[in-house]
């Protein structure tokens, strides 16, 4: 396994590149947001266990 890059690439800076990349990228960004959103709802019941 390779070691991680030495530079902090910045989480926001990684995500914004999807939007910069055009239509296909916006789709990736939308998918990412959707998954984050739905995972929040999915996680909630497990927390109450």
Partner 1 sequence: MVAPPPVPATFTTAPDSPPRADPGSFRDPANRVFHADGQVFRGLGPQAAEDWRALAGAEFFGRLLADGKICGTETADPETLSANPVGQWATVLRHERIPFVSYPYEWSFAMLRDAALLHLEILRTAVPAGFTTKDGSAYNLQWRGAEPVFIDIGSFEPARDGEPWAGYRQFCQTLLYPLLLQAHLGLDFQPWLRSRIDGIEAGELRKLFGGTRRFRAGVLKHVHLHDAIQSRYAAASTGTVRAELKDAGFSRELVLATLGALRKLVGRLDWQPPASHWSGYRETCTYSDADREAKERFVAEALAEGDRSRLVLDLGANDGTYSRLAAGYADYVVAVESDPAVVDQLYRRLRADGERRVLPLVMDLADPSPGGGWRGVERGSFAARAEADVVLALAVVHHLAIGRNVPLPEVVDWLVGLLTTAGAGGRLVVEFVHPDDPMAARLLANKPAGLFPDYRREEFERLLGQRCTIVRRLELPSGTRTLYLGTPRDLGTPRG
What is the DSSP track for the chain? -PPPPSS---HHHHHHHHHHT-HHHHHHHHHHHHHHHHHHHHHHHHHH-
Say how many residues touch partner 1, by CB under 8 A. Answer: 30
Distance between CA 22 and CA 28 in Å, rounded? 10
Which position among 27, 37, 38, 42 is part of the footprint of partner 1 (CB under 8 A)?
27
Q: Could you say whether residue 1 binds partner 1 (CB under 8 A)?
A: no
Q: Could you say whether residue 16 binds partner 1 (CB under 8 A)?
A: yes
Q: Could you say whether residue 42 binds partner 1 (CB under 8 A)?
A: no
Contact set with partner 1 (CB under 8 A) = 2-22, 24-25, 27-29, 31-32, 35-36
């Amino acid at each position: 396994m390779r070691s991680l890059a030495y530079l902090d690439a910045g989480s926001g800076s990684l995500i914004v590149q999807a939007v910069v990349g055009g239509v296909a990228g916006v789709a990736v960004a939308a998918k990412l947001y959707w998954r984050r959103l739905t995972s929040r709802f999915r996680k909630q019941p497990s927390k109450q266990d």
